[in-house]
Amino acid sequence: MEKRGRGGKPPTSPAPQLQPPPPPPRRERKPSMFEREAYTQILKERLRDSIHDVQYVEPPFDDSIADLGKEWKSALAKLKFANSYRMEPLKKFQAHSVETKVQQILTENLKDVKYDDKVFSRLSLDLADRILSAVKEFGYHRYKFIIKVLFIQKTGQAIHIASRWIWDVAWDSWVAAKHETETYVALALVFALFCE
């Protein structure tokens, strides 16, 4: 005779165990920018739609990441700044005097230069460094400067250059200087941003 429990139902055989679904296939891990081999590959992927070619990229570090982090933290630990409680600069950015200096630098360095894209790639960096050091000599404390130097070949085309920034209208400013020859136009832009 069958033995029945409280519910009056006969005992049933255990249900068949359902197999869990197979795990989805693992996706390949993206290369990290901190791996030396992957650094150039990542830059090429980011610039693939651009007209620039990445021929060789110097790795950003020689030591391991852990050592780099320790050096960075120790350097920050040494720097301690007291709050100045100043909300405005000691000396406001004077656009006219900076524009005159930048125009003078462009005129002196480009007076006999003919258009050559290979020369201009190096020359634009050199001019940006000269302009930055000249602007820093004016002594505008707590300002950060962004320098852009553009060379545009004259081939009968039109060009539009636009920049947008979020800044404080009272203290931040910008300057543009232009040097024009028969074959090209050199444009230097200096953005001065006050940091409280």
Encode pLDDT of 70-127 as tens digits: 555 565 555 565 677 778 888 899 999 999 999 999 999 998 888 888 888 899 999 9
Helix (H), strand (E), coil (C) string for 24-60: CCCCCCCCCCCCHHHHHHHHHHHCCCCCCCCCCCCCC
Show the tokens assigned to 196.
Answer: 């409280």
Q: Say how far apart CA 66 and CA 70 lie, in whole Å.
A: 6
Mean pLDDT of 141-157: 91
Mean pLDDT of 43-67: 54
Type of residue numbered 162: A
Mean pLDDT of 169-193: 93
Mean pLDDT of 168-175: 91
Mean pLDDT of 121-146: 93
Question: Which is nearest to 62 in space by CA: 78, 39, 41, 43?
Answer: 39
Encode pLDDT of 5-49 as tens digits: 555 565 565 656 677 777 777 777 666 656 666 767 766 776 665
Ramachandran quadrant class, 141 (left: phi over 0; alpha: psi -120 to 50; beta: rest): beta
pLDDT value of position 78: 59
pLDDT value of position 131: 96
Q: Reduced to 3 states, what is the DSSP secondary structure of residue 74?
A: helix
Which residues are CB-contacts of 14 (< 8 A; sequence separation ≥ 6)?
none
pLDDT value of position 167: 85
Query: Is pLDDT of 60 > 60?
Result: no
Q: Say how far apart CA 55 and CA 35 lie, in whole Å.
A: 18
Model pTM? 0.57
Burial of 185 (C-beta count, 10 Å sphere; 0-12/13-18/19+) = middle
Question: Which is nearest to 65 in space by CA: 47, 27, 39, 29?
Answer: 39
